[in-house]
Chain A
Amino acid sequence: MTFSRIALALAGVLTVLLVQATLISPLTFPVPVSLPALLVVIVAIYAGPGVGVGFGFAVGLVADLGSAHPAGVQALCWLGAGLLAGRVGGLAVGRRYGTRAVAGLAAVLAAGSSLSVTLILAVLGYPVPSVTSAVAWTVPIALTDALLGLLLVPLIRKLLRAYSIRPPRADAVLLGRPADVFIRSASVDGQRRSGALR
């Protein structure tokens, strides 16, 4: 993981937490819309389940420490949301779903993660709305997440595809038999090369 990816992740998490606390929560009260959960899900959809698990855990833990409920609840739920979004999102990305479809998928997953957080807190005995209310809120949460997703999906997709933060990997394309490989294009020491590999 490069420094630029870490810096971008930290900036994204911090920004989303601040926007959540100062804008989203007051405007959507009492419906518990969670912008960080939506961020985790969208990142996982485009970056894969491995990134989704780690990113979800990290964002959830920071959010937990900034909250009054036990640390680890959102970390666990958003870890699961990242894992699920990474796996399911592969289909959406592979089939080149548009922004609206990805936003809808992310909204459903984010709303599910919010519901799971509420249910865990209810099990732990914290003063949360009743299960009925939590389930009833899932629909407005999903709708709000979908609207927010229409803004976030293109932004996150563009950021993750930016060359400067892409993970280092060989992009060689093999042509012909293994014994006689022609490299049409490869990155060697940061420079584009081409030619036959013996």
Chain B
Amino acid sequence: MRSLTRRQQIAAAALSVLALLFITLDFTGGAFSGARGGTTGALGSLYRGTDAIVGPARRFVQGIPDVGRDRTELARLQQDNARLRAQLTDQAADASTAQQLKGLQLQADSAGWQTMPTRVVATGPGAGFQWTVTVDVGSREHITAGQTVTDGAALIGRVLRVYPTTSVVLLVADKNSAVGVRDTRSGELLLAKGTGVTGMLATPLDNQLDVRKGDQLVTGPVGQSTYVAGIAVGTVTSVTTTAGGSVTVSVRPAAAQTGLNLIGVVLQQPRTTARAPLTSVGGTLGAG
């Protein structure tokens, strides 16, 4: 074991006493504040320079333990984000659905119908027709072929085929669809046929009819139509008369034929009371 020489022993003792003296002076009165400030300042500048060099490596090493946690956190946040987005979408869809239900209810209330709300579960060609949608109600809900389908404000189409839990609805824009309509301004009757993307073309029963651009058309008693009367069908966009004298009326459907979600099937309304005839009361007509 090595030992200190005599001079080294004296030096070690002196340094020890000096260290104790420093501790005492600094602890009691802060005698080294100036020296400390200078040293700290000089080292601080060097720390910044050194940190620029070793900092990236240090931060890399410091980040290693957090890699798994960060990934887990990121995955959790992504799941939360997706869930919140789904909630927002659901809320928007719910609001839209509620609005559509409200429209169906208003229409049913005002017309005295019973309407079966249903959701479109599929679209596209079906049953040999081009413009059809499949809804999630069927014979179990007492849906029958030929029933009118509405979105609460306008005509959508009619039930074409019925299955136990689903039904196929033929849209009015389909080329095989024909709807008897009435001009609400003039009361003229027309037969509107679907033309696909361009909407509908209406053919008057009488070429001397009074139909103008902008007239509103509602379902009316024409032909073998099974549609419930009085539902908005569309708006006249143009009236064309050919050289042969035939008149063609272009109609823009009142209900969008695409993007359908919640619609209603109008059930046959039971007539519970006999309709009262109108009688003359003091020169005016009134219900007897």
Instruction: Report which A residues bind B (CB closer than 8 A).
Output: 14, 17-19, 21-23, 26-27, 48-50, 53-54, 57, 60-62, 64-66, 70-73, 75-76, 79-80, 83, 86-91, 120, 124
Return the chain A residue nearest B49 by Cβ.
A18
The residues of A that contact B3 with a CB separation of less than 8 Å are 49, 87
- Evaluate whether A91 and B12 lie within 8 angstroms (CB atoms) in the complex, with A18-B47, A71-B23 already known: no
Contact indicator B58/A72 (Cβ below 8 Å): no
Of A62, A64, A124, most buried by chain B (CB within 10 Å of CB) is A64
The residues of B that contact A53 with a CB separation of less than 8 Å are 4, 8, 11-12, 15
- Evaluate whether A18 and B50 lie within 8 angstroms (CB atoms) in the complex, with A54-B15, A72-B19, A72-B23 already known: yes
B1-39 contacts to A (CB < 8 Å): 1-5, 8, 11-12, 15-16, 18-23, 25-27, 32, 35-36, 39
Choice from A48, A62, A66, A72 contacting B2 with Cβ under 8 Å:
A48
The size class of the interface chain B forms with chain A is 35 or more
Contact indicator A73/B23 (Cβ below 8 Å): yes
The residues of A that contact B36 with a CB separation of less than 8 Å are 65-66, 71
Can you report 19 A-B residue pairs in the complex whose CB atoms are below 8 A from each other?
A18-B43, A18-B46, A18-B47, A19-B50, A19-B54, A21-B43, A22-B58, A48-B2, A50-B4, A50-B5, A54-B11, A64-B22, A65-B32, A71-B22, A72-B22, A76-B16, A76-B23, A79-B16, A86-B2
Q: Does B208 contact A (CB under 8 A)?
A: no
- Evaluate whether A91 and B1 lie within 8 angstroms (CB atoms) in the complex, with A27-B61, A50-B8 already known: yes
The residues of B that contact A70 with a CB separation of less than 8 Å are 22-23, 26-27
Contact indicator A21/B1 (Cβ below 8 Å): no
- Evaluate whether A65 and B39 lie within 8 angstroms (CB atoms) in the complex, with A22-B47, A72-B19, A124-B27 already known: yes
Q: Does B40 contact A (CB under 8 A)?
A: yes
The residues of B that contact A120 with a CB separation of less than 8 Å are 23
Contact indicator B15/A22 (Cβ below 8 Å): no
CA of A90 to CA of B3 in the docked complex: distance in angstroms?
Answer: 9
CA of A71 to CA of B21 in the docked complex: distance in angstroms?
Answer: 9
Contact indicator B62/A66 (Cβ below 8 Å): no
- Evaluate whether A66 and B1 lie within 8 angstroms (CB atoms) in the complex, with A22-B50, A22-B58, A27-B58 already known: no
- Evaluate whether A66 and B12 lie within 8 angstroms (CB atoms) in the complex, with A22-B54, A72-B26, A83-B4 already known: no
Contact indicator B4/A65 (Cβ below 8 Å): no
The smallest C-beta distance from A72 to any residue of chain B, in angstroms, reads: 3
